Amino acid sequence: MDFILPYREAEEILRKDICTITQRGTFDEDGRHPLSHAFEDKGIMLGLLIAETRTGEKISLRAFSGALDGEYIVKGYVPPCFSAREFEEIVREYDTMLHCYSDRIEHGEEDLVPIRRSLSNECLSKLKGIYRFSSLKGSFGFSDIDVSYVTGMGDCATIKLLSYCFRKGFTPVSLAEIFVGRDSEGRKNGVLYPPCDEKCRPLIKHIMSLDLIYSDESVAVINKEAGMLSTPGKGEDKYDSASVRIKELFPDSPALPSCHRLDMDTSGVMVFAKTEKAKRNISMQFESRQTEKIYEALLRGVLKEEEGVIDIPIRLDTENRPYQIVDHERGKSAVTRFRRVRVEVLNGEKVTRVLFYPHTGRTHQIRVHAASGLGLPIVGDRLYGERKAGERLCLHARSLSFIHPDTERRICFETEPDF
């Protein structure tokens, strides 16, 4: 399972918390929220985040998903990502009207269904408007980001904990979430779970300022967005990068935590080291070709071959950096296997979706091999093809497999492209 932070330290404390809750019979010291309610209802996720303060002190923050017996403010737990007073005011404003319409609909006035739906959407819109989340880069609301909202988004324990952590200027260290309640098809009592894909992951991307898909004590894995530099470039305007953001999230990581690079215009899976030992280990795996990579791309035109191998040497065009050229005499060996997925239509133009399996890792290797080896440049490739208005480079590092430096087990991460 893909945890976004190391979890063992937090899990140990959280399980002790749950033992205390079980012995006491209530979630809170005041005894207002009985444990039995979690088993009578649908259950609840409890979360604990170990954070480091600005003075270097480690503290434990606690949160629950949603509401606890209808209450969002409970002593001993971090607050929600909205003003409870504003929330109650909005609910109070609409509650009576919605119940009235529901009663009338139940008694046969089905023509009121659209009116009630419209009123409910209006209420939901107002509630969405009061959410504020904190990140390394500042605060934001739902209106500031592009996410497909689902009911309950923003109420998960993980989101509350991370947002509170960054609002206070703390550094996240270890995070764990455990389900408490009656076993169901989707959740089991006492089981540790990573952040959910539907409600948590879309917000974590903005809270962490990176699409962080996995992190433990030694490595961090992200889904880099197109247009983001892998490492800092020359000049202040090119300082912001995936490496810099990883360093901001995990201050104890190496000065330059990246173990490899993706072109700025290429999206996809990247791995970073959180220790010097891990960096040496993973960097060597890339050099010795122990890593396994799969790229997905859209080629402009129709590729007739179903699969094959491109073996064309390339080198840097020293008079036209960073452009790479085919050179059978002085070029470095570059080998890429490919497999056609399907032919599609993009903006009225036929394109071919292809998977690439690079054996070597030369600069711009896939881009050059697509354009020169297959005769079909990648859609949006401004160097080896053309980029039309509104296009991005349709090249995505879909999958990355490497041997974990601590466990020595091969692990694999995969993400879908957005094209």
Q: Are strands 395-403 and 267-273 parallel, antiparallel or unpaired?
A: parallel
In 3-state terms the chain splits into helix, strand, coil percentages (rounded to 5) of 30, 25, 45
Rg (CA), the chain: 25
- Rounded Cα distance, 139 and 354, in Å: 39
**What are the phi and psi torsion angles at 206 (to 5°)?**
-85, -35
Would you give the DSSP letter of residue 208? T
C-alpha distances out from residue 241 to 51, 207, 308, Å: 24, 16, 35
Distance CA 144, CA 205 (A): 13
Helix (H) or strand (E) holding 358: strand 349-358
89 φ/ψ angles, rounded to the nearest 5 degrees: -65, -45
Distance of CA 403 to CAs 24, 344, 410, 414, Å?
Answer: 44, 35, 4, 15
Active site residue 263: yes
Catalytic one among 28, 263, 265, 381?
263
Q: Are 411 and 402 in contact (CB under 8 A)?
A: yes
Give me the phi and psi of 287, to 5 degrees please. Answer: -65, -40
First and final C-alpha spacing in the chain = 26
Catalytic (active-site) positions? 263
